[in-house]
Amino acid sequence: MSKATRNSGPDELELILRLTAKLPVGDSVVVGAGDDCAVIDAGVPGLWQLHKTDAVVKGIHFTSDSDPRQVGHKALGRAMSDIAAMAGTPRWATVTLGLPDGFDAQRIESVYDGMAALAQRHEVSLVGGETVANPDRLFIGVSLVGEVERDKCILRSGAAVGDGVWVTGELGGSIAGHHLAFTPRLAEARWLAARFKPSAMIDLSDGLAGDLGHLLNKASAGAELLESALPIRREARLRARESEAAKPPLLAALTDGEDYELCFTLGQGQAVDLLDRFKQEFPDTPLSCVGKIVRQPGLKIRQKTGLMEIPTRGHVHFQ
């Protein structure tokens, strides 16, 4: 099972909106709740800090069959993906382990090994943590503090009518394995911010329809996607072929979640130059222009048969 099969329901979304509406924040908070990370002016000359917290939970984000090293990789990688979405560099992580009754210490150590390996690769310091009891299941909370040059930070807001909509990698069918083994797009995001400065960016964790929806809400605009341009993951097509109960591939690409890819917007004049230089710099990372920002609110997708409207919130209705 994965988050892909249990997206946030409307109750949860409404609750978050109600909770975050009344959070106390001081002057040092550049961007509070509502973006991929909080953006903090902590007094570091030239830099902003990015604060993020996230968790993976057994039975939701991984199962007892999952490779524990991959579970650790995922736990830290998810938070890294949010730092990437703001073109930041992850620096310091703390971990809260909720340990189930009769936990397997060796398995927990492997979780940590997976986390430590990813941390090391990105020069992130694991600076501490805490264990508490969570009797029924393993709960791995990760808090990550990163930093970004003040003039390079990219927010969810800023998309403009006419901008192209871009995604890295492939979408859908993540549950077949990608969700445990993805590479957070840190290098790509920093390169993009330095060379092209996207107008808005988000990481794809809840599916393109929902996450692009956040960019559209911030911009009070809409988007028109092109079905033939969507980079649908092979596994999403395979699953659809193998089971009638599986989502059609297009729907999987739009709503599966856990892609951990970047979705960003950029003025169309730069499209050719971007494609060209990105391919040279990151030959192994697919990059696709999948549509454009339009004035009319809402998300639409152009298919051979015409234009179809896609809900951007409460994508559980799809299922």
Integer CA distances (angstroms), 106 to 61, 68, 193, in order: 20, 10, 41
**Residue number, 123 or 242, with CB nearest to a copy of itself:** 123
The window from 140-148, 240-248, 270-278, 311-319 that contacts a copy of itself (CB under 8 A) reads 140-148
CA distance 51 to 70: 23
The window from 20-28, 193-201, 212-220, 252-260 that contacts a copy of itself (CB under 8 A) reads 20-28
CA distance 116 to 86: 23
Q: x-or-dash pattern for a copy of itself, window 94-133, by CB under 8 A?
A: xxx-xx-----x--xx--x---x--xx--xxxxxxxxxxx
Integer CA distances (angstroms), 291 to 17, 153, 273, in order: 28, 23, 17
- From 2, 4, 48, 56, residue interacting with a copy of itself (rule: CB under 8 A): 56
Asked whether the CA dihedral 116, 124, 145, 218 is positive or negative, the reply is: negative
The token pair at 261 is: 């890819």
Instruction: From 186, 52, 56, select the one nearest 111 (Cα to Cα).
Output: 56
The window from 6-14, 159-167, 180-188, 215-223 that contacts a copy of itself (CB under 8 A) reads 6-14
Instruction: From 125, 131, 120, select the one nearest 147 (Cα to Cα).
Output: 125
Burial letters 35-72, b for 16+ CB under 10 A, else e: bbbbbbeeeeeebbbbbbebbbbbeebbeeebebbbbb
**Residue number, 142 or 290, with CB nearest to a copy of itself:** 142
**Applying CB under 8 A, what is the total number of residues that bind a copy of itself?**
74
The token pair at 1 is: 């099972």
Beta bridge partners of 308: 301
Residue type, 82: D
Cβ of residue 155: shortest distance to a copy of itself, in angstroms? Answer: 13
Position 20 contacts a copy of itself (CB under 8 A): yes
Judged by CB under 8 A, the chain residues 60 through 79 that form the site for a copy of itself are 60-61
Position 59 contacts a copy of itself (CB under 8 A): yes
Cβ of residue 243: shortest distance to a copy of itself, in angstroms? Answer: 24
- From 2, 4, 48, 52, residue interacting with a copy of itself (rule: CB under 8 A): 52
- From 17, 63, 64, 136, residue interacting with a copy of itself (rule: CB under 8 A): 136
- From 66, 67, 137, 294, residue interacting with a copy of itself (rule: CB under 8 A): 137
Strands (E), 227-278: 261-266
Cβ of residue 195: shortest distance to a copy of itself, in angstroms? Answer: 25
Cβ of residue 124: shortest distance to a copy of itself, in angstroms? Answer: 7
**Residue number, 75 or 240, with CB nearest to a copy of itself:** 75
Judged by CB under 8 A, the chain residues 184 through 213 that form the site for a copy of itself are none
**Residue number, 53 or 66, with CB nearest to a copy of itself:** 53
**Residue number, 65 or 123, with CB nearest to a copy of itself:** 123
In this structure, the strands spanning 29-31 and 38-40 are antiparallel
